[in-house]
Structure 1
Amino acid sequence: MAQIKVLITGATGYVGGAVLSALLSSSNPLIHRLSITTPVRKEEQASALREKGVNAVIFRDLDDFEFLAAAASENDIVIHTASGFHLGSAVSLVAGLGARKKQTGSKVHYIHTSGTWNLESPRLDHDEMDEEFSDKTNICEHINSLESQKSCPQRTTLLEVVAQSDRKGVKSYCLMPPDIYGLSAGPFNQQPLYLGDLIKGSLESGRPEYVGNGRGGVGHVHITDLAALYELLLGRILKGEDVPSGRKGLIFTETLYHNWMDVSKLIGDIGTVHGCWSQEMAKPVSISAEEAAQKWASWDVDSVRTSFCLRNRTRPDVALELGWKPEKTEADWLESVKKVFSIVQGGE
């Protein structure tokens, strides 16, 4: 039997590095026998990965659509972690897999990394209602309805991936994680970014802050648990076991939930312990989405509202039925916030 080939994008990133590490250390003999290729931008990254037995190849960037399509056409499975917002790269990878299927007649699979921002409603403000979604329901239809009212890059990409995969005979699976926390086991980018700006802004202001009324919230998943789900999904694919795909293959990964008021209170408590402010100044204050966008250089008003005003909860029913067993708890989440605080305070 020919060796099965897997292409992993984003292996030098936070999620991709964790996924690659999980696969390289997997006890599953089917995964252990895989040929893994990953495109990287720098020779030093390629050298480090080659030492781990990975076929690392140099490419320009995600806009190199011809390269991505050609690379995908040489593999049986693609795991795309580099970006859920980049439409061209995702479509090119699916096209490459479609070409491989047409040429060889063998089954091909595409695992896409997206997120719960896809559930953003057209009217996103501080009066947003709490909603809970299960991936056992017709989530794709709901996301399609939202996209028809307001286009969002991540959502546009997800829907096009599902449509193009269906047309080309590619089995697609789209993981939709909420906020991801914890240290990645990847060799390069190991730190989560999303909490950093909130903590940095609070330190610069001399007290913790939250956006709007603070009731906006989001689920979270530890990077190790998320990587384990990729490993589980890949293992089931390799065994030929049934895995929901296409329009039914949108998979949530939430394990716990927090709202931003509680996070800001936690930041206040941590800052007090670190001597950053007095107990009186540890009480969080509200700032507007516009103020947050001005403070945080990498954010705009829309992304602030999406991150801090959404109030969606997602149940990973599909993942749990597939056998996913996340291990991290609320205590791990709290420790992660403390760790990120120390990193930001220390300027790392």
Structure 2
Amino acid sequence: MIRNILITGAGGYIGGSVATKFATQKDGPIKNTKIYAAVRSKDQTKSASIPGLAVLQLDCGDYEAVKDVVLNNHIDMVIHTASSMVASYSQNLLEALGERRKQSGQETGVLTAFTDMGGWRYGQCKDSDAEIFTKEKGIGDVHPTDILIVEQSKALGVKSFILPAPYVYGRGTGDWRKLSVSIPQYIRTSMRLKQVYKFPEDAAPAATHISDLVSLYKLLATKILLGQTPPANENGYYFPFAHRIPWYKTMDLLAKAMHSRGLVNQPHVEIWPSYEKAADEYGFPRQFIRAMGASSGDIVAEKPFELGWKPQWDEKKYLENIDQEVQDFLELDSGKASIFDALTT
């Protein structure tokens, strides 16, 4: 029976929100588990305020440290939201869980989030596609982390579940970071330039409110705890995509909301002269800026809904909440968050 759950990246936006939800759960099997939250800094361990949450400092790049945490705390499930683009972090967690499985004789598992479906060349991508893993392997080195997760999980007897995070928005509930990455960075840059800009091309990427993403993690964990383990490993892809967000409409609403507060000079949006200029102003990598700002992708989520996932946010509610996104930014922004922070939390 799974009794102890480790959540990595708990000092970040997604991991912190998941940790808070799990530690404060009042019903269901999660309330009977011990929740461990892994953060990067000692200061974060001292400032934790969520009752029932065991916060510990952990460098996921240090295998011996990871193994000690997993074995000494009898961890049977890991929710990995930290530095998902760093394959060695996932590898260390999987190997430690493999050791834990030998020690306990019971199943262990990882729920992991990763970003960017870049390089996909097979048209529409459904999480229910039985060949999705084989197709990913055919891309080459574009998705090394999730390929490693699937192959190593099978080799170690660990069950893995992959949740590729879309654009996530809304006010988080973690102790440390409550803001997402992209929209706050657009607001921050617009304030500095006194003007809201949009990319030369419109896009409508998949998106999910933070509360809905957390609810999917809860749903998967609950089913696993109840012994109703959903398909895992090469069949363990679950796309947490609730709706799409139209970027041009988003930027138009941002401009109006910011202008009404005196944060920009006009309520109208200008177009960036180039993607390179946009990348430099936002502080995003030039090689990824077009994919980040003008890519929609024909990605279809089916399996979360088959599990019973019921997102509460849709496109209409998202657009109606843009003014609140600006207000949340003004209340919560530390001025330190960046795309690089998000990838290394």
- Is the aligned partner of 1:277 residue 2:270? no
Tell me which moved more, 236-245 or 99-108. Answer: 99-108
Contact 2:24/2:52, CA 8 A, preserved across alignment: no
Hey, what's the Cα distance between the residues in 2 that align with 1:295 and 1:51? 36
User: Which letter does structure 1 place at the counterpart of 2:189?
Assistant: G
- Is the aligned partner of 1:287 residue 2:273? yes
Tell me which residue corresponds to 1:209: 197
Tell me which residue corresponds to 2:294: 309
Displacement after TM superposition at 1:292 (Å): 1.3
- Share of identical aligned residues, percent? 25
Hey, what's the Cα distance between the residues in 1 that align with 2:232 and 2:308? 16
Q: Residues 320 and 204 of structure 1: is their aligned pair in 2 closer, same or farther, counting only changes over 3 Å?
A: same
Contact 1:120/1:306, CA 8 A, preserved across alignment: no
Hey, what's the Cα distance between the residues in 2 that align with 1:336 and 1:189? 19
Tell me which residue corresponds to 2:66: 68
- Is the aligned partner of 1:55 residue 2:43? no
Hey, what's the Cα distance between the residues in 2 that align with 1:4 and 1:40? 20
Q: Residues 307 and 30 of structure 1: is their aligned pair in 2 closer, same or farther, counting only changes over 3 Å?
A: same
Structure 2 SS opposite 1:172: strand
Tell me which residue corresponds to 1:330: 315
Contact 1:83/1:113, CA 8 A, preserved across alignment: no
TM-score (norm 2): 0.87
- The C-alpha deviation readout for 1:195-230, integer Å capped at 9, x for no partner, is 1222333334443212232x2331110101111111
Displacement after TM superposition at 1:103 (Å): 2.7
Hey, what's the Cα distance between the residues in 1 that align with 2:325 and 2:265? 17
- Is the aligned partner of 1:243 residue 2:241? no
Hey, what's the Cα distance between the residues in 1 that align with 2:216 and 2:242? 12
Displacement after TM superposition at 1:263 (Å): 2.1
Contact 1:210/1:287, CA 8 A, preserved across alignment: no
Match of 1:135 among 103, 127, 130: 127
Displacement after TM superposition at 1:54 (Å): 2.4
Structure 2 SS opposite 1:253: coil
- Is the aligned partner of 1:174 residue 2:162? yes
Contact 2:60/2:92, CA 8 A, preserved across alignment: no
User: Which letter does structure 1 place at the counterpart of 2:301?
Assistant: P
Displacement after TM superposition at 1:114 (Å): 1.2
Structure 2 SS opposite 1:250: coil
Task: Give unpaired runs (5+ residues) of structure 2.
Answer: 335-345
Contact 1:69/1:94, CA 8 A, preserved across alignment: no
Contact 1:135/1:315, CA 8 A, preserved across alignment: yes
Tell me which residue corresponds to 1:93: 93
Q: Residues 219 and 66 of structure 1: is their aligned pair in 2 closer, same or farther, counting only changes over 3 Å?
A: same
Tell me which residue corresponds to 2:176: 188
Task: Give unpaired runs (5+ residues) of structure 1.
Answer: 123-128
User: Which letter does structure 2 place at the counterpart of 1:35?
Assistant: K
Hey, what's the Cα distance between the residues in 2 that align with 1:71 and 1:345? 37
- Is the aligned partner of 1:33 residue 2:32? yes
State the Cα RMSD in Å. Answer: 2.4
Displacement after TM superposition at 1:336 (Å): 4.3
- Is the aligned partner of 1:110 residue 2:82? no
Displacement after TM superposition at 1:179 (Å): 0.4
Q: Residues 329 and 260 of structure 1: is their aligned pair in 2 closer, same or farther, counting only changes over 3 Å?
A: closer
Hey, what's the Cα distance between the residues in 2 that align with 1:296 and 1:217? 19
- The C-alpha deviation readout for 1:57-78, integer Å capped at 9, x for no partner, is 233x332222113323431111
User: Which letter does structure 2 place at the counterpart of 1:143?
Assistant: E
Displacement after TM superposition at 1:164 (Å): 0.6
- Is the aligned partner of 1:4 residue 2:30? no
Contact 1:172/1:246, CA 8 A, preserved across alignment: yes
Tell me which residue corresponds to 1:125: none
User: Which letter does structure 2 place at the counterpart of 1:114?
Assistant: F
TM-score (norm 1): 0.86
User: Which letter does structure 2 place at the counterpart of 1:16?
Assistant: G
Hey, what's the Cα distance between the residues in 2 that align with 1:177 and 1:19? 13
Contact 1:3/1:35, CA 8 A, preserved across alignment: no
Q: Map 1:148-159; keep pairs closer than 5 Å.
A: 148=140, 151-152=141-142, 155-159=143-147
Structure 2 SS opposite 1:251: coil
Tell me which moved more, 195-204 or 91-100. Answer: 195-204
Hey, what's the Cα distance between the residues in 1 that align with 2:46 and 2:292? 36
